[in-house]
């Protein structure tokens, strides 16, 4: 087949004109009638064809399936031995063959891509009309090499039918015949009808694909999002070898929110772009997949990972990439990150379980030097054993299984017991005496925190009332949790208990961690203002482990800082901890706050703290937490404890 892309639209639209003519009127009339009937039937058939095709497209959504169906229908309907389906890539092309039937391998590869300028199909797309290529009509301008190849094996006529949706060109469907062939007006109509149905289906398929892309991707970074993560893991676990193996690293940027708030979202976005680039660079080296789970949280999936150690090593590499200084908005910034690590299938049968485990590890990583933590069952508060424990706790509280232990706080400069801290324990019928760390965090996640704290406060005040008869200035410290202060009716409950116990509110000290306050500072401020209004004091527990900013401290009705035991334990060997303790004591004093050193375990620490002017101390060195009768022994000795001078 030689080829020419006809520039004459009449060739299509006006071809096969002509009607009945000559003969006797009755005969002519009969012929006309027969012809009209045949035409009507043909039209009906064509309409039916287009209808059928449209209906079939309603079920098919992938563009490839639409292409295959179209090629199939056209080949059957037009008896064309060669049919090709092309879609336009981008606005300027080229046209890419999606499906072709009847072509040789060479023709397939020659015609795989057709330019918009320089091919009959391109012309059809540009001018939105059916273009005919036929032997003997040569116009080399629009001749593509594939036409030469087709004519070499005797193919003679081709029609390129454009696909358009609204104003948008989509591609072409080409039908090619071995003989010289005209195109009838009916065929033109049918081709146009088919083209309309196909175009609509393609446009629909693309819209669905776009929507799906949106649902599974994060717009600002272009990374697959949380839903994309679950889908990827589903595919990993559904197909391929079983059990599927994969490592998961969940990365969380440190201080990202703070940077976003102080330097603005533009800088925040620039940082994100750089972070994504670094994560992807590492991911390419392995290879691995990167996802954005939310704000400053990313997931890296390592398909085929064999061990937690291997995944943790990768996590450290990722963090070291991220920790390199970055330049944004003309500033040099350092942005740290933490990472939690988990492994499939060991730590979960599906993406949800796996992600939960990596999150548990991440939580721990925030407190781990180096910032990487591997999932361990002990970290997990939601193991079946813990859930069972939680379900027993409510009954335990009602049945009086809780007990309080009391640990004294010592005035370091003088050696007398200033007061006690109440620490809750659970006499579990099966498991024996449980320390607070085993069940308080569980209760904190549920409404049980309210009855638990209620019981602790009542019991602590009952004991204080007893001790106050002999030691009227003795104080009692009680731990509150975040849940308590976010509970708006909690201050009322507390007030009621204190009133009923008949103790002086000024002898009470409530301890809260920084993290508990920072979770929702505004609500915390309101609750704490009410709780301290009656003269009770407020202590910041585990000071130094949260993200306290001093500006918040000034706004809070804080009276005491309790320096976390990790600094005290580390003081003898870590000069940094010693410096932190020293400056905390100074800071507290300059803000006119009291300061307590927690976890004093030896004489040396006690002596150092005393020398630096620390007011109060608590720890095994002086006394362990103990039941009331035992704690009372210290009081029986006059309330004095040994303080090294």
Pick one of 97, 542, 618, 634: the residue that binds Mg ion (CB under 5 A).
542
Residue 601 site contact among Mg ion, ligand C2E, none (CB < 5 to 8 Å, cut-off depends on kind) = ligand C2E
- Rounded-to-integer distance, Cα 555 and Cα 548, Å: 12
The two three-digit tokens of residue 577, written as one number: 């901890």
Task: Pick the binder of ligand C2E from 254, 289, 509, 511 (CB under 6 A).
Answer: 511
Q: What's the chain's Rg over C-alpha atoms?
A: 40
Query: Residue 431: which residues within 8 A CB-CB, separation 6 or more?
Result: none
Identity of the residue, 479 or 548, whose beta carbon is nearer to ligand C2E in the bound complex: 479
Among 173, 37, 169, residue whose Cα is nearest residue 98: 173
Kindly tell me which residue out of 435, 445, 466, 572 binds ligand C2E, with binding defined by CB under 6 A.
435
620 binds ligand C2E (CB under 6 A): yes
Candidate list 541, 553, 595, 609; residue touching Mg ion; CB under 5 A: 541
Contact 484, 528 (CB under 8 A): no
Q: Do 68 and 99 contact (CB within 8 A), yes or no?
A: yes
What is the bridge-based pairing of β-strands 508-513 and 537-543? parallel
Binding mask 571-610 for ligand C2E (x = CB under 6 A): ---------------------------xxxx---------
* Minimum CB distance to ligand C2E, residue 549 (Å): 21
- Taking alpha carbons only, the member of 166, 210, 211, 203 closest to residue 57 is 203
Number of residues that bind ligand C2E (CB under 6 A): 24
Alpha-carbon span 244 to 57, nearest angstrom: 35
Taking the least distance from each CB to Mg ion, the nearer of 375 and 622 is 622
Nearer to ligand C2E by C-beta: 353 or 601? Answer: 601
Buried (b) or exposed (e) across 247-256, using 16+ Cβ within 10 A? bbbbbbbbeb
Q: Which stretch binds ligand C2E (CB under 6 A): 157-165, 190-198, 463-471, 473-481?
A: 473-481
- Residue that the structure tokens 């990993």 belong to: 236
**DSSP state at residue 141:** G
Q: Which residue has the tokens 């009855």?
A: 451
Q: Which of residues 396-415 bind ligand C2E (CB under 6 A)?
A: 407
State the binding partner of 625 from Mg ion, ligand C2E, none, CB within 5 to 8 A by kind: ligand C2E
Q: Which of 437, 472, 502, 575 binds ligand C2E (CB under 6 A)?
A: 437
Alpha-carbon distance of 260 to 258, in angstroms, equals 5
If the CB atoms of residues 156 and 479 are measured against Mg ion, the closer one turns out to be 479
Question: What backbone phi and psi angles, to 5 degrees, belong to 604?
Answer: -60, -50
The least distance separating Mg ion from the CB of residue 338, rounded to whole angstroms, comes to: 22
For ligand C2E, the closer CB: 514 or 541: 541
Q: Residue 262 corresponds to which tokens in the numbers above?
A: 């102080």
> Which of residues 197 and 482 has its CB atom nearest to Mg ion in the complex?
482
- Which residue from 353, 379, 356, 382 is spatially nearest to 367, judged by alpha carbons? 379
Query: What is the rounded CA–CA span in Å between residue 638 and residue 615?
Result: 20
Helix ranges restricted to H, 17-84: 25-59, 63-78
Interface residue with ligand C2E, options 3, 169, 619, 639 (CB under 6 A): 619
Residue from 341, 372, 480, 524 touching ligand C2E (CB under 6 A): that is 480
Question: Which of 25-33, 108-116, 355-363, 616-624 is the region at the interface with ligand C2E (rule: CB under 6 A)?
Answer: 616-624
Q: Does 424 bind ligand C2E (CB under 6 A)?
A: yes
- What does 456 interact with, of ligand C2E, Mg ion, none (CB < 5 to 8 A by kind)? ligand C2E
Only one of the segments 411-419, 426-434, 439-447, 477-485 lies at the binding site for Mg ion (rule: CB under 5 A); that segment is: 477-485
In sequence order, what are the residues at sequence separation of 6 or more whose Cβ sits closer than 8 angstroms to the Cβ of residue 529? 557
One of 107, 364, 511, 615 touching Mg ion (CB under 5 A): 511
Residue 291 burial by CB count (10 A; 0-12/13-18/19+): exposed, middle or buried?
buried
Residues within the interface to ligand C2E (CB under 6 A): 407, 423-424, 435-437, 440, 453, 456, 479-481, 511, 541-542, 565, 598-601, 618-620, 625
Residues within the interface to Mg ion (CB under 5 A): 479, 511, 541-542, 598
């Amino acid at each position: 087949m030689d080829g020419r892309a006809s520039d004459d639209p009449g060739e299509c639209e006006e071809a096969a004109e002509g009607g009945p003519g000559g003969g006797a009127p009755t005969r002519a009339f009969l012929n006309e009638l027969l012809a009209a009937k045949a035409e009507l039937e043909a039209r009906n058939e064509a309409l039916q064809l287009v209808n059928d095709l449209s209906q079939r497209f309603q079920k098919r959504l992938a563009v490839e399936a639409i292409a295959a169906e179209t090629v199939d229908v056209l080949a059957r309907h037009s008896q064309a031995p060669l049919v090709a389906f092309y879609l336009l890539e981008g606005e300027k092309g080229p046209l890419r063959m999606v499906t072709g039937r009847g072509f040789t391998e060479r023709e397939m590869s020659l015609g795989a891509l057709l330019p918009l300028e320089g091919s009959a199909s391109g012309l059809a797309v540009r001018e939105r009309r059916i273009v005919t290529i036929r032997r003997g009509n040569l116009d080399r301008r629009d001749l593509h090499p594939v036409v030469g190849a087709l004519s070499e094996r005797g193919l003679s006529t081709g029609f390129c039918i454009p696909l358009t949706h609204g104003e948008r060109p989509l591609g072409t469907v080409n039908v090619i015949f071995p003989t010289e062939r005209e195109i009838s007006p009916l065929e033109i109509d049918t081709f146009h009808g088919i083209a309309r149905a196909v175009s609509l289906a393609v446009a629909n398929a693309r819209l669905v694909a776009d929507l799906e892309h949106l649902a599974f991707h994060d717009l600002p970074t272009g990374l697959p999002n949380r839903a994309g993560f679950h889908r990827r893991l589903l595919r990993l676990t559904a197909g391929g070898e079983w059990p599927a193996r994969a490592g998961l690293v969940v990365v969380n940027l440190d201080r990202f929110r703070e940077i976003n708030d102080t330097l603005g979202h533009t800088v925040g976005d620039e940082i994100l772009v750089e972070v994504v680039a670094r994560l992807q660079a590492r991911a390419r080296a392995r290879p691995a997949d990167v996802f954005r789970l939310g704000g400053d949280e990313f997931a890296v999936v390592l398909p085929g990972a064999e061990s937690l150690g291997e995944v943790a090593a990768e996590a450290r590499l990722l963090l070291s990439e991220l920790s390199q200084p970055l330049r944004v908005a003309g500033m040099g910034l350092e942005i740290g990150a933490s990472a939690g690590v988990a492994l499939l299938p060991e730590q979960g049968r599906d993406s949800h379980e796996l992600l939960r485990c990596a999150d548990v590890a991440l939580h721990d990583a925030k407190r781990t030097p180096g910032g990487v933590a591997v999932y361990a069952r002990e970290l997990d508060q939601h193991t079946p054993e813990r859930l069972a424990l939680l379900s027993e706790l409510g009954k335990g509280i009602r049945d009086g299984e809780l007990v309080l232990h009391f640990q004294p706080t010592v005035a370091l400069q003088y050696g007398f017991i200033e007061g006690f801290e109440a620490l809750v324990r659970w006499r579990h019928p099966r498991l024996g005496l449980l320390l607070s760390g085993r069940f308080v965090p569980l209760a904190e996640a549920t409404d049980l925190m309210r009855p638990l704290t209620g019981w602790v406060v009542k019991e602590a005040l009952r004991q204080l009332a007893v001790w106050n008869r002999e030691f009227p200035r003795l104080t009692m410290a009680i731990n509150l949790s975040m849940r308590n202060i976010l509970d708006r009716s909690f201050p009322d409950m507390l007030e009621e208990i204190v009133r009923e116990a008949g103790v002086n509110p000024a002898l009470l000290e409530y301890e809260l961690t920084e993290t508990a306050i920072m979770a929702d500072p505004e609500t915390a401020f309101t609750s704490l203002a009410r709780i301290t209004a009656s003269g009770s004091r407020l202590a910041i527990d585990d000071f130094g482990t949260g993200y306290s900013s001093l500006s918040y401290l000034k706004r809070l009705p804080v009276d005491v800082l309790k320096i976390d035991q990790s600094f005290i334990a580390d003081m003898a060997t870590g000069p940094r901890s010693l410096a932190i303790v020293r400056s905390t004591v100074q800071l507290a004093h300059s803000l006119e706050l009291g300061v307590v050193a927690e976890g004093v375990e030896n004489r040396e620490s006690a002596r150092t703290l005393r020398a630096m002017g620390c007011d109060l101390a608590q720890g095994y060195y002086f006394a362990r937490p103990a039941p009331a009768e035992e704690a009372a022994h210290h009081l029986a000795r006059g309330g004095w404890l040994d303080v090294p001078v």
